[in-house]
Amino acid sequence: MPVLLTTKLSMRLSLVVTLTLFTGACSSLTPTVSATQSAIKAPSVALVLGGGGAKGFAHVGVIQALQENGITPTLIVGTSMGSLIGSLYASGMTADDLEQLAVTTPDSDLIDFTLSNQGFIQGIKLKNFINAKVAGQSIEDFPITFAAVAAEKDSLRKAVFTTGNAGLAVQASCSVPNIFIAPRIPETVGKKYIDGGVISIVPVDSAIELGADMVIAVDVTAPASSNNANKLSKLSSLTSLTSFWGLLENNVASTANAGAANSSRSKAGELQRADVVITPDVGHISSLDSSQRRALIEAGRTATTSQIKVIKQLIAEKSNSKYTTL
């Protein structure tokens, strides 16, 4: 009898030990994610903001419409005025922040006249303005990846700035030849750079080169009708020497001509490589006061809202495409 009791007790102990080991082994297991599952990501969506001087206030409306519909780009690439608006947005500003800044910023915050045979605006105020508004962040620290497009002054080679001093990069991208003194990057010792519109007014190719799966391009350079153009030219001529935005707006054409005779063909070629092209109806609008700036912003919002369905569909298609190719 004692032997039988001992045998049963041993069997029970053995069973308990076995169950304990099995339970411990099971609890130590963790679910695994396949390499394919972990690699699936949403497509990289680039918002490309072109140059166009004062017409670039329409970019703010574009951003508003995208934000209202839950669309946040992963990359922003800008030329000239597009780099100015793009840098502020990429740094963390909301669309409402941008609108408030757009309609309240006086030209005196941005213009620093000087006497020089290289130009009559230094551009230092612009650089400092951007750096103050982005809270001193370097480009690589922005919440959204950002690139400013400029051109080397001597060679006219394209330069795409994705790191470093944000204000300096925007200053270079906005430096209309013969108007702004071309800044050096690095400062004091580097090459001189001028407005990116000389070689890429709507820098779609730069976004593609930076790895964008989908490109939403904004072109604000549509010309005004002949009647409106005459009215605007007379009004702009009175303000071109005192309006920062007027200087950029009135010199869009001359900037393009400084680069190459086929600049219009080059722009058309880049736009063809975009997935979506937003063209705000701004040819008839100037931006010489805050009410006109609001009209430009609204034009950008309207043009974008009409394409939201297409944009969302393309994002979904790009997502499915990335999934099926893995």
- Whether 205 shows a pLDDT value over 70: the answer reads yes
Q: Give, for 21, the enclosing helix (H) or strand (E).
A: helix 2-28
Higher local confidence (pLDDT), 45 or 326:
45
Residue 211 DSSP SS3: coil
pLDDT tens-digit map of 313-324: 999 999 887 655
Higher local confidence (pLDDT), 288 or 7:
288
Annotated catalytic residue within 80, 87, 200, 263: 80
Higher local confidence (pLDDT), 295 or 226:
295
Q: How far, in Å, CA of 88 to CA of 101, rounded?
A: 10
- Whether 244 shows a pLDDT value over 70: the answer reads yes
- Whether 170 shows a pLDDT value over 60: the answer reads yes
pLDDT tens-digit map of 122-157: 999 999 999 999 999 999 999 999 999 999 999 999
Q: What is the structure's pLDDT at 204?
A: 98
Q: Give, for 94, the enclosing helix (H) or strand (E).
A: none
Q: How far, in Å, CA of 27 to CA of 307, rounded?
A: 51
Q: What is the structure's pLDDT at 323?
A: 53
- Whether 300 shows a pLDDT value over 90: the answer reads yes
Annotated catalytic residue within 44, 87, 195, 286: 195
- Whether 199 shows a pLDDT value over 50: the answer reads yes
239, 228, 178, 224: which is closest to 52 by C-alpha? 224
The pLDDT-based confidence of 255 (bands split at 50, 70, 90) is low
The pLDDT-based confidence of 243 (bands split at 50, 70, 90) is confident
- Whether 236 shows a pLDDT value over 90: the answer reads no
Q: What is the structure's pLDDT at 237?
A: 45
Tokens 């063209």, located at residue: 279
Catalytic residue flag (residue 80): yes
* Residue 227 amino acid letter: N
Higher local confidence (pLDDT), 13 or 87:
87
Q: Has this prediction a pTM greater than 0.75?
A: yes
163, 182, 145, 167: which is closest to 258 by C-alpha? 182
Q: What percent of the chain has pLDDT over 90?
A: 64
Higher local confidence (pLDDT), 10 or 313:
313
Q: DSSP letters of 239-273?
A: HTTT-HHHHHHHTHHHHHHHH-TTHHHHHHHHHHT
pLDDT tens-digit map of 61-82: 999 999 999 999 999 999 999 9
